[in-house]
Amino acid sequence: MKFLKYYLIIVIIISSKEVSSQQYSSPLDFNLLLSGTFGELRNNHFHAGIDIKTEGVEGQKVRSISDGYVSRIKVSTSGYGKAIYITHPKSGHTSVYAHLQKFNKKISRFVKKKQYERESFEINIFLNDTTLKIKQGEIIALSGNTGGSNGAHLHFEIRDTKSEHPINPLQFNFKVVDNISPLIKKIKIYAFDTTLVDGYNRDKIYPIKQYNNILTIDETPIVNGSFALAIFTYDKADYAYNKNGIYSIKVFIDNTLSYQFEVNELDFSTTRYINAHIDYCENKLSKNRYHRCFKLPNNKLLNYSNLINNGIISFKDTLLHSVDIIVNDIYKNESKLSFKIKSTNNPFLKKCTLPEDTFNKMFHYDAINKFTTNDIKIEMPAYSIYEDIMFKYQITNSVKDTYGNIYSIHNENTPVHLKYTLEIKADIADSLKSKTYIASTDLSGNYWYHGGKWEKNRIKTKVREFGDFCIVADTINPEIKGVNIFPGKKINKQTSIKLTIKDKHSGIKSFRGEIDGKWILMDYDYKESVLRYDIENDLKKGKHTFKLNVTDNVGNESNYNSTFIY
């Protein structure tokens, strides 16, 4: 009886949450068209929500999906831009609304007060359940394109409040029209170690063909040895052209389920393992994101189930085997790829391993890895890579704008999970050291700042990628240009002061605007390089002095001074 009682309590709790979730209203006032789905493959992360189109414009009304309270407000120049988090105690969920143009009046007043107290545009505030209560359907903001957004839209999430894990919002019956099955475009077969695929020890990609609504490939691959699969697939929805993410993948070998991937829930602490889930190298080379249908050794995602041998396939016969891959979106639209593989067990020569030397060294994923020469030193924590690699190192002679050689640290097509220490030796004049830093380069004249601190004749920093690194200097001050402000400007109907700020080298670190010696709130859009001050109602009529200071990442400064009459 006790067991039955507890079982009924659990069922009631789950049912009540499901009922409350069905009562969520739409965050927007018009039909929902998606430009991004939950779990979609993005750079270094899975997409934690859905991206909702806002009819190509900013300024659409954004509403709370349920009663609750504002539990967090974040304003940043990158990432989510202007974002509101609303906790809904009855359902145990928190809804997130990001890339907003502006908050409603009561939220704006609260945020602006905090920004002026801290003298900072960027802010991250956590609130209790009494400060800003919100009703279902209440307008909380206007949609925008702030932060890392590349176009006007609303990024919307639902999270489990307790764990803070994002959960798929589309399971809560928001009205999205989707009658289109996912598209499967290509399949890749991986040849491990001494495996032969169609006679060669290399991976092979096969395009997908459709015959009478059946997806297949034109040939029967012949495989000798252990292998694995990956697919290039995406989803589409009615009335939208976007290539969205899929919901689930199942792989059947001879009618036995051997791999399953599903995105009901994500965890921010493991989202970077997307670089183990996708074929990172293939994405770098072809811009196609393949879902691996097998797990690399250092892949801690919990979105897999029904794994047999971690998805690695090995036949011990010379028979014909069936492969079926089923891809679904969350609305149960389905695509199925079916083909045959012929296995063989012919004898073959063993693959020769590269010998370790001063420029090649085996790095094990589960160990601390170090590499040292007279010029560089590398130390990687354990679990910084997703599988064992033969680490490669090469030196290229210095090119224009660099100090010393260019160091090829393995290659950019291999992903790195954790930051590692990179130290480079160089003879740099003491007077210049404060302006130099370690940069990654594409060897085409482009450099990306990674910082660095000098200890005698060695500069050290932490990086999170492989590739080509060098030392460069930035001695040029940031650039400031007035857009609608200049010395002596008379401001009558103008409601804002705008300037552009740019730094072509180490990048902008900070800025500070003042009027008559007092800090002012300036909204920064880094994509457009625009700083904007919205003129306050309490600015007195008469003559004023505007000042702007901009500092880059190595301490170069620029100042802009202008008087204006208001």
The 10s digit of each residue's pLDDT in 537-556 is 889 999 999 999 999 999 99
Cut 0.85: pTM above it: yes
Q: How confident is the model at residue 5 (pLDDT cuts 50, 70, 90)?
A: very low
Rounded to an integer, what distance in angstroms lies between the CA atom of residue 135 and that of residue 493?
A: 36
pLDDT at 193 over 90: no
Q: 196 near 224, Cβ under 8 Å?
A: yes
Contacts of 48 (CB under 8 A, 6+ apart): 38, 157, 166, 266, 268, 271
pLDDT at 278 over 70: yes
Q: Which pLDDT score is estimated for 2?
A: 44
Contacts of 102 (CB under 8 A, 6+ apart): 82, 108, 141, 142, 144
For 371, the token pair is: 């590499």
Q: How confident is the model at residue 355 (pLDDT cuts 50, 70, 90)?
A: low
Closest CA to 145 of 527, 501, 534, 502: 527
Q: Which pLDDT score is estimated for 350?
A: 52
Q: Which pLDDT score is estimated for 20?
A: 40
Closest CA to 154 of 45, 56, 271: 56
Q: Regarding beta strands 222-224 and 334-343, do their DSSP bridges make them parallel or antiparallel, or are they unpaired? A: parallel
Rounded to an integer, what distance in angstroms lies between the CA atom of residue 404 and that of residue 131?
A: 56
Q: Which pLDDT score is estimated for 346?
A: 77
The 10s digit of each residue's pLDDT in 86-134 is 999 999 999 999 999 999 999 999 999 999 999 999 999 999 999 999 9
The 10s digit of each residue's pLDDT in 45-88 is 999 999 999 999 999 999 999 999 999 999 999 999 999 999 99
For 554, the token pair is: 């190595």
Assign 112 to helix, strand or coil: helix
Q: What average pLDDT does the segment 182-198 reach?
A: 95
Rounded to an integer, what distance in angstroms lies between the CA atom of residue 265 and that of residue 303?
A: 8
- Phi, psi (5° rounding) for residue 205? -110, 135
| DSSP one-letter code for 310 | G
The 10s digit of each residue's pLDDT in 484-529 is 999 999 998 899 999 999 999 999 999 999 999 999 999 999 999 9
Task: Give percent above pLDDT 70 in the chain.
Answer: 94
Q: How confident is the model at residue 383 (pLDDT cuts 50, 70, 90)?
A: very high
| DSSP one-letter code for 19 | H
Q: What average pLDDT does the segment 8-12 reach?
A: 41
Contacts of 252 (CB under 8 A, 6+ apart): 258, 322, 323, 324, 325, 326
Q: If phi over 0 gives left and psi between -120 and 50 gives alpha, with beta otherwise, what is residue 137?
A: left
pLDDT at 15 over 80: no
Q: Which pLDDT score is estimated for 271?
A: 98
The 10s digit of each residue's pLDDT in 435-453 is 999 999 999 999 999 999 9
Q: Which pLDDT score is estimated for 12?
A: 38
Q: How confident is the model at residue 8 (pLDDT cuts 50, 70, 90)?
A: very low
pLDDT at 377 over 50: yes
Give the helix/strand (H/E) hosting 342. Answer: strand 334-343
pLDDT at 352 over 80: no
Contacts of 490 (CB under 8 A, 6+ apart): 564, 565
The dihedral through the CA atoms of 417, 420, 426, 430 has a sign that is positive
Residue 159 buriedness (CB in 10 A; 0-12 / 13-18 / 19+) = buried
Task: Give percent above pLDDT 90 in the chain.
Answer: 90
Q: How confident is the model at residue 14 (pLDDT cuts 50, 70, 90)?
A: very low
pLDDT at 356 over 70: no
Q: How confident is the model at residue 397 (pLDDT cuts 50, 70, 90)?
A: confident
pLDDT at 558 over 70: yes
For 340, the token pair is: 């045959």
The 10s digit of each residue's pLDDT in 207-233 is 999 998 899 999 999 999 999 999 999
- Number of residues in the chain: 566
Q: Which pLDDT score is estimated for 21?
A: 43
Rounded to an integer, what distance in angstroms lies between the CA atom of residue 438 and that of residue 146?
A: 29
The Cβ of residue 411 has, within 10 Å, a number of other Cβ atoms equal to 15
Q: How confident is the model at residue 9 (pLDDT cuts 50, 70, 90)?
A: very low
Tell which wins on pLDDT, 396 or 44: 44
Q: How far is CA 479 from CA 256, 497, 505, 524, in A?
A: 62, 17, 11, 15
State the chain's mean pLDDT as an integer.
Answer: 93
pLDDT at 347 over 90: no
